[in-house]
């Protein structure tokens, strides 16, 4: 079993949970498209959308690191930080349309781990891959 698959599965549960929250709120306020001016619905739409904007690239970075045979411990650290960051962000945005600890921490964790993974991939290429090419 591949390590990235664990975090793809967890991310899928998160995205489906966020999508369900959007769908339930749409039913409550009877809005089929957009937010209909409902702030709660808008917050849920953005929490779902933000996850979908960040998770694919982050998971692709994780997969590339796994394919480069990065140590399993590091892959798990990156995966856990990513999922925790996305959960923090979603909770923060669901609770408040303004700034919040959850949004700040979630963004910092997500972008931070993505930057570290991208830098590590480049380092691996320069340190090991460039010699073979």
Radius of gyration of the chain (CA): 17
How confident is the model at residue 133, as a pLDDT?
46
How confident is the model at residue 19, as a pLDDT?
96
How confident is the model at residue 128, as a pLDDT?
82
Residue 37 lies in a domain: yes
- Cβ neighbours of residue 8 closer than 8 Å, sequence gap 6 or more: 59
Give the chain's residues under pLDDT 50.
133
Asked whether the beta carbons of 53 and 5 are under 8 A apart, the reply is no
Residue 16 lies in a domain: yes
Alpha helices in 1-133 (DSSP H): 3-29, 39-67, 72-95, 101-124, 130-132
**59-77: pLDDT as tens digits:** 999 999 999 999 999 999 9
Residue 58 lies in a domain: yes
Residue 133 lies in a domain: no
* Structural domain for 54, as ranges: 3-128
How confident is the model at residue 31, as a pLDDT?
81
How confident is the model at residue 94, as a pLDDT?
85
How confident is the model at residue 40, as a pLDDT?
87
How confident is the model at residue 27, as a pLDDT?
82
- Kindly report the CATH number assigned to the domain that includes residue 104: 1.20.120.550
Residue 87 lies in a domain: yes
Tally of domains within the chain: 1
């Amino acid at each position: 079993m591949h390590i990235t698959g664990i975090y793809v599965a967890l991310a899928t549960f998160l995205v489906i949970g966020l999508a369900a929250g959007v769908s339930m709120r749409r039913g409550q306020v009877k809005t089929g498209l957009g937010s209909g001016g409902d702030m709660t619905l808008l917050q849920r739409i953005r929490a779902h959308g933000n996850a979908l904007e960040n998770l694919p690239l982050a998971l692709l970075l994780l997969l590339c690191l796994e394919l480069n045979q990065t140590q399993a411990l590091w892959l798990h650290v990156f995966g856990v930080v990513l999922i925790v960051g996305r959960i923090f962000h979603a909770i923060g945005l669901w609770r408040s349309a303004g700034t919040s600890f959850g949004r700040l921490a979630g963004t910092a964790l997500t972008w931070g781990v993505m930057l570290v993974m991208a830098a590590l991939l480049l380092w691996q290429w320069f340190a090991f891959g460039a010699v073979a090419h």
